[in-house]
Chains A and B, each alone.
Chain A
Amino acid sequence: MNTKTLALAQLPVGHTGRIDTLLARGMTRRRLLDLGLIPGAEVKTIRRSPAGDPTAYLIRGTVIALREEVARQVLVHTKIYSSKEDSNGSVKPCMQ
């Protein structure tokens, strides 16, 4: 299966990914782990707030809102989808 790695902030609404790496360090990392964002866990983008930030994610049965600044520090594996599916065109591959 073809997968690619994105920042969680770039996972489009309705899509599911599997957490690969946490780039965050220190207390932010700790917080993310406490919220259930552990490598291997499934995460789904539920909706974005009207201003585009924060975004609500479904993580282990609970909806959790993350700021973009934080969601950028989480890398997820996701199945490849064609760019036509993404109507906003806002999805770019992860910048590293």
Chain B
Amino acid sequence: MALLNLACSKKSCRNRSVPQNQFLRLTVALAGNPNTGKSTVFNALTGLSQHTGNWPGKTVQRAEGNFYHRNKHFTLVDLPGTYSLFANSVDEQVARDYICFARPDVTVVVTDATCLERNLNLVLQVMEITPKVVVCLNLMDEAERKKICVDVELLSSELGVPVVATAARSGRCLDKLMDAIDDVASGRIKTSPRLVAYDSEIEQLVQKIELKISPLVPEGLNPRWVALRLLDGDRSIIDSLQRYLREGKNSSFHWGEERALCIR
């Protein structure tokens, strides 16, 4: 805390007045593809100086910091960059497990406005897990230089979640990002994320599995998402799920058997 105060005192304290409600702490996860400026957003919001740099795997462990906005205390968690929630490496697994199982109040997906199509994959994957998503359209300064225009309103209505255009390097529009985070966390903005519809065969299987597992899936985990992962048969996610369930309560739920049962 002392470190944070020191760091804050160096910067402007515009948004960092002492909160009235000390007990209300909201967690915000920062996810995104590698090299989209997650750590820059993190530093700009928290006033900390988490190391930023352009090489893969820079943020292998997650970093945490705090900021105050509208008299609320937010804990911001900077996650390693990932192209997907189907993890291939340790740092991707850190990001995935946090978004899936730590259940942050809001997940901010930081995207690169200069190559948006590549970034929207992760946005869709995150929206499958949780509706509490804010898309931060970062590197807008870079996009403007490249004469790339993004219709933020349209993107937001297509995705069904708030989209905020920012340039974190210069701090542009970060207050709007904090507003959006707070609005989604408090429920003032109701999101209705566009979900991926799979082909009818998969949808039927998902419905069947969802029905069977929903009494077993702990609160906060999305049964549709769990059903989809069971269908994938991705061992790594299933292992994490099992670990998570074991921590929660002594569940004797066997994913492998359940999966075999459902598919038959």
List the interface of chain A (C-beta within 8 A of B): 27, 30-31, 33-36, 59-62
Contact = CB atoms under 8 A, between A and B. Distances in A.
Contact of B234 (A27, A34, A60, A61): A27
Contact of A34 (B84, B112, B114, B232): B84
A34 B86 contact: yes
Contact of B118 (A27, A30, A61): A61
Interface string B96-121: 00000000000000001011011001
A39 to B, nearest CB: 14
A contact patch SS: mixed
Contacts of A34: 83-84, 86, 121
A2 to B, nearest CB: 28
Interface of B: 83-84, 86, 88, 112, 114-115, 117-118, 121, 232, 234
Contacts of A62: 115, 118
Contacts of A33: 121
A61 B115 contact: yes
B129 to A, nearest CB: 15
Contact of A60 (B86, B88, B115): B115
A27 B115 contact: no
A36 B33 CA distance: 12
Given A60-B117, A61-B114, A61-B115, A35 B86 contact: no
A24 to B, nearest CB: 14
A69 to B, nearest CB: 15
A36 B118 CA distance: 6
Nearest to B33: A62
27 contacts: A27-B86, A27-B234, A30-B84, A30-B86, A30-B232, A31-B84, A31-B86, A31-B88, A33-B121, A34-B83, A34-B84, A34-B86, A35-B83, A36-B83, A36-B117, A36-B118, A36-B121, A59-B118, A60-B115, A60-B117, A60-B118, A61-B112, A61-B114, A61-B115, A61-B118, A62-B115, A62-B118
Contacts of A35: 83
A27 B84 CA distance: 12
Which of A31, A34, A59 counts the most B-chain CB atoms under 10 A from its CB? A34
Given A30-B84, A30-B86, A61-B118, 5 more contacts: A31-B84, A34-B83, A36-B121, A60-B118, A62-B118
A79 to B, nearest CB: 23
A31 B121 CA distance: 12
A62 B84 CA distance: 15
Highest count of chain A CB atoms <10 Å: which of B112, B114, B118, B121 = B118
Q: Nearest 10 CB-CB pairs, A to B? A: A61-B115, A34-B84, A60-B118, A34-B83, A36-B118, A30-B86, A60-B115, A35-B83, A31-B88, A60-B117
Contacts of A60: 115, 117-118
Nearest to B35: A62
